[in-house]
Chains A and B, each alone.
Chain A
């Protein structure tokens, strides 16, 4: 019925005339062909998104919000286009898909918005009124400082917090979120050069944007109050205070702090710190940690500058051996940057973690430089006199006093704590920051000196900074910018430790430095990422050769020659680098519920309706099915025979229905069924020749003898289709053909195979697209089969992408002959792989199956002898 209406619409009420005489009918057919092709393309694009999301859901590869967003948008735009095209094919019979689509769209957008809507608060808060309760409002650093000041009574600088809402207001006033998101779209993970360029573009956009005047006034007002309470016009430190920073995930040293900022520099410094959200190292850190790299508001802590004689980092436990009853304190002359960034060898004290706070060890580092404030603002590094270089920067009583403060912090926060400290010119100790310690997960091993390892010389020792063992080729880096070409599994060998090295922490198997402290940012990051690290070896960069394989024992501070298996097996490498459990992963998981999940599995079920579509996958599946239904809506009384679909009579394990969009079948072939000889479409002809290849013998029971085969294969290749009717296991398959074109698809349950091909004498537009998805087997078998398909298709020169259980293969611009030859092979592959569910176990030898297929052993018969005259190609 509907078909006739459809046809009437196409052709009006004219009497039938041959197509050649009816250019409008021809054009209408062409248009239908285009609509159909768009539908197929969109369906493919959605399947690709689904497979891509599924593979990311395995958690093994790094991805960011840009990935989730772009995949969601691609799925949405193609789902929408499918609905449009189906409606144009069917005379708007599927309008009720639109409201379903809108519901899904809203659900996905809701997830992507990540609950951003909330009440706005003040732009600036004095530190005196801040505590941990204000974490979201002021960010981690300010909240921790406020907590220490107001609720733990610890000495911290005067200051104020510029809130995260201030950052949001700044970004929104300048539409910076959109700019940033657009810039980030260009970034793939792991591309260090691109990360640097991306970072610079974002920084420029942020620096060029004006601060809203309300925000300028609030910041300057905060500063005036600071002047009033401290008397004078103090220089300030402007420090990042991002939400999430200094919490469970440390972000140690990933953001920006600006020291010794004068009043007239405050507003510019504010923007610099905000721009620090997008330093290359911060971008990489978030990517590896699965933290959304967009819409993360940054607070800024604005603190009265402490004119420090000495400063450093202290930890309430030994970060590498958290069970040992002692604290570790590092310090150096001047401002604290040197210690935390690892550019000087600091003094180190260990202090008993009991009432006595006895200093257990004290070791002076060689502190060649110190950081000093500049008169005009900012800081610089100056040499330390030869006399002062080896001198300890704290007295024993100062060390004990500091240990008391650190213990108080631990007691207050209820867990191991790391603080940054400064000693001012008046000899007062002040805490500048506090965060939970990232202790080495494997740090409980008894204290030992490096072990002897048979067959592997001990080449280097240093300070153990992150436990576990790792091995790989040495990669020498003379600065954090010097990382291009860092190999997967490489051992980073660096002059200084630096938090920017986080950029390779998803790939490094261990880290060794000449200089650096276990309390520094990089060591903290290494522990967080579970990467063994040995620091302060003094000689690593001069001793280790680039590319030479070494083994690093991070727990004992030792580096060995070669790959010392005994160490590696004792300490399996950490698997903590996956995406599972990260915030971005959670977003993907939520989005995939509206994109990937398939509810409409059975076209015969009464639930297979537009109203039941709850995901983009459902829509694609539903529309795909209905597309074929619309195209093949057959009526025996159809006035225009060209559009009738006809069954194909051929020996195939499924029934194929054909529709001709022009020039695909012989003009006379309009009977109740067509035979292969009626097919003019050369790609369809080739594909069919492959699918009916006599050696396929899909109809044979498995145990049948070779003698039995012989008698069957002597039969005519194309036996009338009823004769094999009872052996057909599958549902209908469809082929849409035209001159030089075919689209074949077969879907049986979960198993989907499709070939779309165009082939003429001129190669420039020739292509084959071959897709295969799913199958009824368990996951291991499915994966095996996909690997098998991939290998076979590659051997036929296809370009193959395999995403989960979707195999997507393509060739383009091959000659006519070469294209047809591959279609023939693809046809054989489609039928042969149907056997594999049964034959191919989860631990199958894939090589054997590949060579079996290539030899023409399509039954994958272990006793197959490649002598059969019909075998091969």
Chain B
């Protein structure tokens, strides 16, 4: 855990993005926030992140579509879905598309942080495995 976790927050609720960013930055994370799926994808084109907190219901591109596109751009990026709307369908679809977790709003900041750390840990190990498969020199 030498480098800080790079977290991307995607939620159309500006206030929520702001609060979460502030509080998670205070906990030592590197945080960027965007307010739409399209903005998220644009950012991910050129910049690697470790974990994304992704709102399910957003105007324009919805969370599930965004998730599908994110996995094409950065397959190892761990995506935690964060939804205000308790829909089983969306939850299952999110898991099927490779989300690592489906959390419901309102979520406790400590729980969210714990899930982010867990997801980050998972990503590190996946990266390690990938590096091993390709060999140190490859």
> B-contacting residues of A (Cβ < 8 Å)?
23-24, 26-28, 30-31, 34, 66, 69-70, 72-74, 76-77, 80-81, 84, 101, 105, 108-109, 112, 178, 181-183, 185-186
Contacts and interface: CB of A to CB of B under 8 A. Distances in A.
Given A73-B91, A80-B91, A112-B88, 11 more contacts: A24-B132, A26-B132, A27-B125, A77-B88, A77-B91, A105-B88, A105-B89, A181-B86, A182-B57, A185-B85, A185-B86
A-B pairs with lowest CB-CB distance, top 3? A182-B84, A27-B129, A24-B132
A84 B95 contact: yes
A572 B33 CA distance: 57
A77 B122 contact: no
B89 A34 contact: no
Contact of A186 (B94, B106, B125): B106
A30 B125 contact: yes
B6 interface: no
Nearest to A76: B88
A109 B89 contact: yes
Nearest to B85: A182
A66 B132 CA distance: 46
A30 B92 contact: no
B102 interface: yes
Nearest to B110: A812
Interface in B63-88: 84-88
Contacts of A183: 84
28 contacts: A23-B128, A23-B136, A30-B125, A30-B128, A31-B126, A69-B86, A72-B88, A73-B88, A73-B91, A74-B102, A74-B104, A76-B92, A77-B91, A77-B101, A80-B92, A80-B95, A81-B95, A84-B95, A101-B92, A105-B92, A109-B89, A112-B88, A181-B86, A182-B84, A182-B85, A182-B105, A183-B84, A185-B86
A230 B21 CA distance: 61
Nearest to A109: B88
Contacts of A108: 88
B46 to A, nearest CB: 28
A77 B95 contact: yes
Nearest to B105: A185
Interface size, B (range): 20 to 34
A70 to B, nearest CB: 5
Contacts of A178: 57, 85
B9 to A, nearest CB: 17
Contact of A24 (B92, B102, B129): B129
- Among B57, B85, B95, B105, max chain A CB count under 10 A is at B85
Nearest to A68: B86
Contacts of B57: 178, 182
Contacts of A28: 129
Interface of B: 57, 84-89, 91-92, 94-96, 101-102, 104-106, 121-122, 125-126, 128-129, 131-133, 136
Contacts of B94: 77
Contacts of A186: 84, 105-106
A23 B128 CA distance: 8
A172 to B, nearest CB: 15
A27 B86 contact: no
A28 B136 CA distance: 16
Given A76-B91, A76-B92, A80-B92, A185 B102 contact: no
A101 to B, nearest CB: 8
Contacts of B131: 23
**Max chain B CB contacts within 10 Å: which of A70, A72, A77?**
A77
A70 B122 CA distance: 26
B84 A185 contact: yes
A161 B95 CA distance: 45
Nearest to B130: A27
Nearest to A183: B84
Among A27, A66, A84: residue with most chain B CB under 10 A: A27
Contacts of B136: 23
B128 A185 contact: no
A23 B102 contact: no
Nearest to B88: A76
Contact of B104 (A73, A109, A112): A73
B129 A31 contact: yes
Contacts of B84: 181-183, 185-186
- Which of B86, B87, B104 is most buried by chain A, counting CB atoms within 10 A of its CB? B86
Nearest to A762: B1
Given A73-B91, A74-B104, A84-B95, A31 B86 contact: no
B81 to A, nearest CB: 9
Nearest to A112: B88
B83 to A, nearest CB: 8
A31 B128 CA distance: 10
Contacts of A69: 86
Contacts of A77: 88, 91-92, 94-95, 101-102
B134 to A, nearest CB: 10
B95 A181 contact: no
A72 B86 contact: yes
B95 to A, nearest CB: 5
A101 B92 CA distance: 10
Nearest to A181: B85
Contacts of B132: 23-24, 26-27
A70 B86 contact: yes
Most buried by A among B104, B105, B128: B104
Contacts of B86: 66, 69-70, 72-73, 181, 185
Contacts of A23: 128, 131-132, 136
A72 B92 CA distance: 12
A183 B91 CA distance: 18
A78 to B, nearest CB: 9
Contacts of A27: 125, 128-129, 132
Contacts of B95: 77, 80-81, 84
Contacts of B105: 182, 185-186
A108 B91 CA distance: 13
A185 B129 contact: no
B104 A34 contact: no
Contacts of A112: 88
B133 A24 contact: yes
Nearest to A26: B132
Contacts of A185: 84-86, 104-106
Contacts of A76: 88, 91-92
A757 to B, nearest CB: 16
A278 to B, nearest CB: 16
Nearest to B95: A80
